[in-house]
Amino acid sequence: MQLGLVGLGKMGFNMRERIRRAGHEVVGYDRNPEVTDTASLAELVDRLEAPRVVWVMVPSGDITRNTITELSGLLSAGDLVIEGGNSRFTDDKVNADLLGEKGIRYVDAGVSGGVWGLENGYGLMVGGAAEDVELAQPIFDALRPEGPREEGFAHAGPVGAGHFAKMVHNGIEYGLMQAYAEGFELLAASDLVENVPETIKAWQRGTVVRSWLLDLLVRALDSDPELDDLRGHVEDSGEGRWTVEEAINHAVPAPVISAALFARFASRQPDSPAMRAVAALRNQFGGHSVVSAGPSSGTGSTQS
């Protein structure tokens, strides 16, 4: 089938390739002339036959909204837009309504897999009406991994459900990564375990903690056994925050996911204001400006 694909960055570029390998026709648009197939969104729309299916894969936020808005002026009733970026699920209802005014259909898709998706396929979670999802199923089937469809693709619910599921997926991912990271640090701190990379490598088969993330950690340790080519300064990209916020909205305890999120925040603070406050309180116990203690070889520190 035909697909219009807007956004040919790290994700979209590879997705175009994977969909083409599956035998479909992809018309891509990107403002970067080196990768684009068309000169404009309008040209992209022109080159597709109705009912058109256009996948939007651009940065979440304003760029996505602007692209949706522009498409609403170019597409026709019955066409379908799939929004596959890292958007917050609350954006989907707005997008769907915006397009729905013109009779344009809307499906949101959470896409997981990173650049590995080109070879491995992408895990997909989509939200929308059953008939709209069905229209794009050949594309989803091209993108998802080999194997049973239900192990790499889910129609999670109505519009928004795809991004909601992807949000939770990423929240879990934060927790998983932090769990491995704490274990790595403890192994590295121990005198007993002499070869940390080898020990972690041995977890790849047979153990309870084996996973794709573990494979990636082994891969990282292969080239940098103490991970000292890196700084422990970790960004977050939205989904972790949204997961905790939704947990709060639903009164769901999320101690692990929030701890993982806060560890990232803390990793970016060269000097924590909160810990300066704790330090200040400890200094106050000493009360040096108030009480002049005699010099002594006794208890060096003041008891709180």
Q: CA–CA separation, 210 vs 221, rounded Å?
A: 16
Number of residues that bind a copy of itself (CB under 8 A): 169
Q: Does 287 bind a copy of itself (CB under 8 A)?
A: yes
Please, are residues 284 and 304 in contact by the beta-carbon 8 Å criterion?
A: no
Q: Which of 39, 50, 77, 278 is the binder for a copy of itself (CB under 8 A)?
A: 278
Least distance from C-beta 16 to a copy of itself, angstroms?
9
Q: CA–CA separation, 188 vs 144, rounded Å?
A: 37
Contacts of 254 (CB under 8 A, 6+ apart): 171, 243, 244, 247, 248
Least distance from C-beta 9 to a copy of itself, angstroms?
3
Q: Does 144 bind a copy of itself (CB under 8 A)?
A: yes
Respond yes or no: is residue 201 known to be catalytic. no
Q: Which lies closer to a copy of itself via its Cβ, residue 94 or residue 115?
A: 115
Q: Which residues of 39-72 are buried (b: 16+ CB within 10 A; e: fewer)?
A: eebeebbeebeebbbbbbbbebeeebbebbeebb
Q: Does 106 bind a copy of itself (CB under 8 A)?
A: no
DSSP label of 96 = H
Least distance from C-beta 118 to a copy of itself, angstroms?
6
Beta bridge partners of 6: 29, 56
Task: List the interface residues with a copy of itself, window 79-98 (CB under 8 A).
Answer: 85-86, 89
Stretch of 26-34, 37-45, 46-54, 75-83 lying at the interface with a copy of itself (CB under 8 A): 26-34
The one catalytic residue in 70, 102, 173, 201 is: 173
Q: Which lies closer to a copy of itself via its Cβ, residue 23 or residue 206?
A: 206
Q: Which lies closer to a copy of itself via its Cβ, residue 48 or residue 179?
A: 179
Q: Does 23 bind a copy of itself (CB under 8 A)?
A: no
Q: Does 4 bind a copy of itself (CB under 8 A)?
A: no
Measured in whole angstroms, how far is the alpha carbon of residue 219 from the centre of its chain? 20
Strand order, beta sheet including 153-157: 25-29, 2-6, 53-56, 80-83, 105-112, 123-127, 153-157
Q: Does 275 bind a copy of itself (CB under 8 A)?
A: yes
The one catalytic residue in 166, 201, 235, 246 is: 166
Q: Does 216 bind a copy of itself (CB under 8 A)?
A: yes
Q: Does 21 bind a copy of itself (CB under 8 A)?
A: no
Q: CA–CA separation, 34 vs 13, rounded Å?
A: 11
Measured in whole angstroms, how far is the alpha carbon of residue 130 from the centre of its chain? 25
Respond yes or no: is residue 182 known to be catalytic. no
Task: List the interface residues with a copy of itself, window 53-72 (CB under 8 A).
Answer: 57-59
Q: Which of 21, 69, 209, 225 is the binder for a copy of itself (CB under 8 A)?
A: 209
Q: Which of 73, 78, 103, 114 is the binder for a copy of itself (CB under 8 A)?
A: 114
Report the relative pairing of strands 153-157 and 105-112 from DSSP bridges. unpaired
Please, are residues 27 and 49 in contact by the beta-carbon 8 Å criterion?
A: no
Least distance from C-beta 54 to a copy of itself, angstroms?
14
Catalytic residue IDs: 166, 173
